A and B are shown apart, each in its own frame.
Chain A
């Protein structure tokens, strides 16, 4: 404990710099060695089960490793062959296209716009209708994925599904005839809650006086949205779009509903990777595809962090506006 003698030194807050120091102080007298011992187990688990797998895709992706057969015992180094193969693989390109449809259709358009509409409608309402709607939206979001997957399989069932009974369209096989559309609608149902909550928090920060002024100046609802609301919540819109895109891109629930079928017509990238690597045992090729997926995730995350950083800088410039400060606070909560 001798090494931490500094913690008992009296510190006078004479200079501003010195005044900050006690915040960093090792108040319990832990000491550097024990502190490292505290951090090490957590970091070890993260290194082994999060960092190592990510790096491993790089190595594996450049081999012809397979689950069975000769390449399983003695995998050969094939360099970037897997990646060039992927670019000529119709299955892969198809899955990439379907994933784009899935992300744009269900997250960017469906969840973001639906979530905003719900938040806008709820903004000044109380009462049972609002409570019921909000609970239903939240419930769709918190139920386990294998449960909601079956709920939708039953709902869209060809012979007996509730949807066909309601629409009087007996025998309409939604999951077979329109698998991708079904998945998109499903995912809007599943994930709108997050956008709704985020926008509700954001709308709470739009200064009422600004809306009032706009209304008195004769602005219609759409003009108010465009000129007053949207500029005030731009940061939240960005956060929301990037998070829901990332989650939807990585969502494995389509596997539980359609398993990619029929004939790969709903095979989004996660399902395609699963079928390739573990279904047909091409581990090397599957790892190369995983690597591409990690790369796309990385690009989205880095774009997000850079835009967020730029916004922080802007905020530091016009710190005078209290509304923006509060907005930044809410955003930090979301980051965590």
Chain B
């Protein structure tokens, strides 16, 4: 007699918890789904009076469009630097015996998890001023790449280790030069690894706020992460239509990249797609 009642109660409790969990995670994001399409967006999430007008206005805002372009420059620049330098280093470390190699790799990885942007913001700021890298894209790209390279080298070396050496050997037998072997044999084989590292770098840089906030001075160079922040901290009434549409547009690429990576390769941690 008491058994079905107990089971019922347990079922109710379980679904209540589930509903609470769903609400906890969904509620803060509702606004991002409703406000961009609302004719008169307010801070409260509500059913929108549907319009796409906000997107047209966003397109006419030079700050918003410029900042997305800056984000693309920083993300692509860092991806090129990280993929190129880590691929070269990973290949050499995988194929040529260099004394102290494993120790070096672990030391680098340890360093990159300790020396975070937050912990090193003071010296990073001063270093950039000394090198004349303040307010330049290359400063941001180099600082971010320095932090991402150790993990990238680690991932790519693991990847290269699994590629059979016989491919390179046969190409050598046919008289190809070492660099030609790299370009025509090795790069095509490790391409998925390069793509993973590239996507991972783009995702990291796209969301990074602190480093561009510290190093870029002129507003027209600021990437979306920083401009988003200035949109709602600048004095006066925040323009909610602008903020919401901009948030949605700025978030879209990382969401798409995440879907792409998890579809294509299945989800792997590798320290997470974000920091």
Contacts and interface: CB of A to CB of B under 8 A. Distances in A.
Most chain A CB inside 10 Å of its own CB: which residue of B95, B111, B267 = B95
B95 A28 contact: yes
A36 B274 CA distance: 31
B274 A142 contact: yes
A174 interface: no
B5 interface: no
A245 to B, nearest CB: 12
Q: Which of A45, A54, A165 has the most CB of B within 10 A?
A: A45
A27 B25 contact: no
Nearest to A200: B267
B13 interface: no
A297 B258 contact: no
A305 B110 contact: yes
Contact of B207 (A26, A145, A278): A145
Interface string A123-146: 000000100110011111111111
Nearest to B153: A42
Contact of A197 (B26, B111, B267, B274): B267
A97 interface: no
A29 B247 contact: no
Interface in A277-314: 277-278, 283, 286-287, 290, 293-294, 297-298, 301-302, 305
A26 B247 CA distance: 49
Contacts of A163: 27
Given A25-B165, A147-B247, A297 B120 contact: no
Interface string B21-37: 11011111111100000
A23 B28 CA distance: 52
Contacts of B110: 301-302, 305
Given A46-B108, A189-B28, A297-B116, A28 B42 contact: no
A198 interface: yes
Interface stretch (B48-56, B58-66, B140-148): B140-148
Nearest to A157: B43
Given A46-B146, A290-B120, A336 B271 contact: yes
Given A38-B88, A136-B22, A157-B43, A151 B29 contact: yes
B98 A39 contact: yes
Interface in B244-268: 247, 250-251, 254-255, 258, 267-268
A277 B32 CA distance: 34
A256 B43 contact: no
A45 B145 CA distance: 8
B254 A278 contact: no
Interface in A233-277: 246-247, 250-252, 256, 270, 273-274, 277
Contact of B21 (A51, A133, A278, A287): A133
Contact of A136 (B26, B167, B203): B26
B92 A51 contact: no
A52 interface: yes
Contacts of A246: 113
State the majority secondary structure of interface residues on A. helix
Interface in A129-178: 129, 132-133, 136-155, 157, 159-163, 165-166
Interface size class of B (residues with CB under 8 A): 35 or more
Contacts of A274: 121
A256 B229 contact: yes
A129 B92 contact: no
B81 interface: yes
A60 interface: yes
B271 A45 contact: no
A41 interface: yes
A329 to B, nearest CB: 12
Contacts of A53: 115, 120, 123-124, 127
Contacts of A133: 18, 21-22, 25
Nearest to B101: A39
A50 B147 contact: yes
Interface string A41-85: 111011011111110110010000000000000000000000000
Given A25-B165, A45-B149, A142 B255 contact: yes
Nearest to B45: A162
A18 interface: no
B4 interface: no
Contact of A154 (B43, B96, B166): B43
A13 interface: no
Contacts of A301: 110, 113-114
Given A39-B92, A151-B28, A154-B43, A146 B228 contact: yes
B85 interface: yes
Contact of B181 (A25, A28, A48, A293): A28
B168 A56 contact: no
A89 interface: no
5 contacts: A28-B171, A150-B243, A152-B28, A252-B118, A278-B125
Given A30-B178, A42-B89, A56-B127, 9 more contacts: A27-B169, A46-B111, A50-B111, A52-B127, A142-B255, A162-B31, A197-B267, A252-B209, A301-B110
Please list the 10 inter-chain residue pairs (A to B) with the smallest Cβ-Cβ separation, ordered nearest first: A49-B146, A53-B123, A35-B96, A38-B92, A27-B165, A27-B168, A160-B43, A56-B123, A42-B85, A42-B89
